[in-house]
Each structure stands twice: as C-alpha cells, then as structure tokens.
Structure 1
Amino acid sequence: MKRRFLVAFLLLFFSYSLNIYAVEEEPSPPPNIGFSLNLLGPIFGIYSLGVSSFLTSRVQLGLNGTYFDTRSVDPKVTGWQTQVRMNYFFSPLYKSGFYIGIFGGFESVQIKNNSGRSDNYTDPIGGIIPGYRWSMTKKLDMLLGVMIGYMYGDIQISPELSFVYLL
C-alpha cells in the first residue's frame, strides 16, 4: 500500500516538474460549465451524473450525484451518494496530464452481503483521487483515477472512469 502511494506521488511530482518548463498558453476564459457521466457504471447498477465549473484554468469545482442499485454484484448496494469535488490539473487546459482531486459529501446506502447480512450507512464521505486526464477534444475529457477514501462505512479504494463534456 505504501509503495502505491509512493508511485502515485512520484508520478504526480514528475508530471508537475515537466510542466514547469513547458511553454503554455493559458486560455481565457476557461469553460464555464461541464457535465460528467460515468458510462461504465450502469453496467454494474451505478448511475452517476455531475456538473462542474472551472474556477481557474487548472482548478475545477463540481457537484456529483450517484444512485446505487447493484443487484447483480456482490455485495448488493442500494441508496445514494452526493459529492462536492475539487480537481487540480497539473497540465494546462485542453492538454492531457495528471490531476489530483479531493471530495467530500454524504451517503445513505444499504449494503447486503451474500450471507444475508445487511448494513445501513448514513454518514459523511471524503477522500482523494489521483488520476490522469485525457483531453480527447477541446470539449471532451476522459478522467481515469483511483478514489481513495471513506465510503460505505470503511476505507475504500475504487477506480474512476468518467467523461466530462465542456460547454
């Protein structure tokens, strides 16, 4: 676990140090609104939608909502989760590169195991998301990351794959 955090930290530092020497043109102004969607989630019963806006060309603030109904996956999760999220991009706008995000919010979920045990969690959530932004076009980004934080009543590590469409 410590090695994974060390590798993530070194990758972020390496990306940041390369961007210091890059000649970059900051677009003015950054896009004012974007919509995010997790396209792979519905396969597993996770429906997520978000709206975000850039505060600067590197800082993005967003609000995400998720509804869970994972009937075909063990453990079965039903309920909802909402997050306020902030991403810092190490690369300039419209360029691919690493990012780090932080999130906080609230959840109300019920988790049923195959053993028949059921747990309800209605509590705050929070964590970090190191990842990579792939700028597919000037209007479409793909975020690939790892969510590390407190959710479902315990510390969780889960992948993130979402698409952000910028208006």
Structure 2
Amino acid sequence: MNPLILPVKALKKIAEAHGYTATLIALVEKVNDAQKLVIAQKITNRFGEDLTGKTFGVWGLAYKPETNDMREAPAIYVIQNLVQKGAKIKVYDPKAMTEAREHYLKGIENITYCNSKYEVLENSNALLLLTEWKEFRSPDFEQIKAQLVTPIIFDGRNQYIAYDLEDKGIEYIRIGK
C-alpha cells in the first residue's frame, strides 16, 4: 500500500492521537459505514424485514478481488445484517473462504460455505454480488435464472449493468439506483 494513501480509519486514529478532532474524516467514515449496508437495505426493501425462510447466495467475500483480505469488507456487514433478520446465507469466494470461516464470520450461524459459484445458487432466493472477481464477470445467466428460487441479482459492484438482465427475465437491483 502506498504510505501516502491511508484508509479513513487510520487517518482518524492519527488525528485523535494528536489531539485533533477530524470532523470531516469522521463524516466520511460514517458515510462509508452506511454504504456497506446499502445492499442489505435493498434486500429488506424487496423481501421485507423478516427474512426467515429466505436464503441468499453471495458471490465474493473479500474487500476487493485478487486477495483474501476481508478487513472492513461489505460482505461481513451485509451477511451479519441478513442473518440477524432470519436469513440463511450461502457463500463462495475464490480466496477468502478460510478467512471468513476462521475469523470474520466465525460463530455466525446459518452460513453455508460452498465449493463453487453455481452451488451458491441452489435453492437461494437471490444472488448477491459483493466482490467483482474475474470469474464472476461473465456468468451463465440462464443457469443463474434456472437455479434461483426467484431470479433476482443484487449487484453491489454494478458489474452487470450492460447485460440487460431484465430482458433475460432476471430482476436486477444494483448500487446507486
């Protein structure tokens, strides 16, 4: 990491350590934290507050692709929020499965760790794309539609905008809209 580009939380701690109240940085941190739950809120808007009996398939746990780093990853917050509302979660990530199981999602019930992206879909009510891994870029949308209980994709990365999913019979809910 470039030492001149520090995460917001680090900047806030540095400011506090020097006795400075970094109001703008605190506001940025608050916005960043709220942003992590936007997909969870969209799911609640679509399915209701009580998610008992619902299963959601998650593609991507890591903070960003090509790493197993889950520190501050939106997936942690989304999964915790949905489980608290009664949902079951099925997850797949190319590199972060062990990190999730042993650290970041440890002890959270109702999570199933799957061996492939398509296994996640089986009997899930919707697919949540939370990390933009290369292997998720061009999926088989017909297979997604066939395997999901309700063909809905919640795209937390706006990765599928160009695919005209509504024309393929898939409800498409994305960030920023």
Is TM-score (shorter-chain normalized) higher than 0.5? no
Task: Report the TM-score range of the alignment, normalised by the length of the smaller protein.
Answer: under 0.3
- TM-score, length-scaled by structure 1: 0.24
Where is the helix percentage greater, Structure 1 or Structure 2? 2
- TM-score, length-scaled by structure 2: 0.23
Where is the strand percentage greater, Structure 1 or Structure 2? 1
